[in-house]
């Protein structure tokens, strides 16, 4: 029987994690036992093994001692230190699924877990204008599945939308009105905290791009930086602390009462266009 091919190539961190699992099981140790010796949780060791968490040098040194791995983990971490960071979007999605709190600043479009199906389709269509409808639907399915996490009490979600997100008519007024009503309804049900950062706020710490913070009950907070066609997870405590402070500054400048009003204005624009036709 032929092994099932991987959908995507494993990341470097996933390969290191696979070796960690092999060395741990060779020692007949559980994740919890290894974690206890490192003053970490077993769940965190599991994240290292899955590649969701990057192995830091100080952890690598201790793992080499515990597992008698001959300095393998430290050598690999040292070799990777100066390499360009790969796209870590897949790892970010995995981390999001186990987060207890998500804080996100969205500068250009509605974040994935808050999107409606029509908005997600329109956003992907703008990026892939020649793709077949079947391909678009296949791509949005994982995002819509992720959005189902909002049907549960956790994670806590706090989103700050830049005013540009409200003004950019992705999919047209009807699609935007539905998308904004959806967010407003989530806010009314106290399922999410949503704010809008107005243009009038001027400059701010995250003006160059999107920022997501993911907090966990059994592991340190992760920051995720998204740019064109790629993303980077950051777990360095000093850097994460800076991003947390940046988000606090953004939240302090944001408004909590604009999404519903914009949804009503967009819906009114939709009715006007349907009655009189689009402006030329």
**Residue partners of 139: CB distance under 8 A and separation at least 6:** 124, 128
Question: Which residues are CB-contacts of 177 (< 8 A; sequence separation ≥ 6)?
Answer: 263, 266, 267, 269, 270
Element (H, E) at 39: none
| Confidence class for position 256, pLDDT limits 50, 70, 90 | confident
| Distance between CA atoms of residues 225 and 37, nearest Å | 31
Architecture of domain 12-80: Orthogonal Bundle (1.10)
Let me know if domain 89-276 sits in CATH 1.10.287.
no
Domain residue spans of the chain: 12-80, 89-276
Specify the pLDDT at position 128: 87
**Which residue in this structure is represented by tokens 């519903």?**
260
| pLDDT value of position 119 | 95
Name the CA dihedral angle for 189, 152, 99, 246, rounded to a multiple of 10 degrees: -10
Lowest average pLDDT, out of 45-59, 72-86, 141-155, goes to 72-86
Q: Residue 90 has what pLDDT?
A: 79
Would you say residue 275 has pLDDT above 70?
no
pLDDT, tens digit, 9 for 90 and up, residues 74-118: 999 888 775 555 567 778 888 899 999 999 999 999 999 999 999
279 pLDDT exceeds 70? no
pLDDT at 54: 84
Residues paired with 161 in a beta bridge: 106, 196
């Amino acid at each position: 029987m032929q092994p099932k091919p991987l959908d995507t190539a494993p990341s470097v961190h996933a390969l290191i994690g696979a070796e960690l699992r092999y060395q741990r099981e060779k020692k007949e140790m559980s994740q919890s036992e290894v974690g206890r010796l490192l003053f970490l949780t077993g769940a965190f060791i599991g994240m290292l093994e899955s590649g969701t968490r990057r192995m830091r040098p100080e952890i690598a040194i201790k793992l080499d001692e515990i597992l008698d791995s001959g300095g393998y983990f430290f050598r690999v971490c040292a070799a990777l230190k100066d390499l360009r960071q790969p796209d870590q979007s897949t790892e970010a999605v995995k981390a999001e699924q186990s987060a207890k709190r998500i804080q996100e600043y969205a500068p250009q479009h509605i974040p994935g877990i808050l999107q409606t199906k029509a908005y997600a389709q329109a956003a992907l269509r703008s990026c892939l204008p020649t793709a077949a409808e079947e391909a678009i639907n296949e791509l949005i399915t994982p995002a819509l599945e992720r959005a189902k996490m909002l049907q549960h009490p956790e994670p806590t979600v706090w989103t700050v939308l830049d005013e540009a997100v409200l003004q950019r008519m992705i999919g047209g007024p009807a699609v935007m009105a539905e998308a904004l009503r959806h967010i407003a309804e989530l806010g009314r049900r106290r399922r999410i905290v949503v704010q809008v950062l107005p243009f009038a706020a001027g400059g701010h710490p995250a003006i160059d791009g999107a920022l997501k913070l993911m907090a966990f009950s059994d592991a340190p907070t992760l920051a995720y930086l998204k740019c064109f066609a790629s993303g980077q997870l950051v777990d360095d405590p000093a850097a994460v602390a800076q991003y947390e402070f940046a988000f606090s500054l953004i939240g302090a400048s944001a408004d909590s009462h604009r999404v519903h009003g914009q949804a009503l204005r967009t819906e009114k624009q939709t009715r006007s266009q349907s009655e009189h036709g689009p402006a030329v």
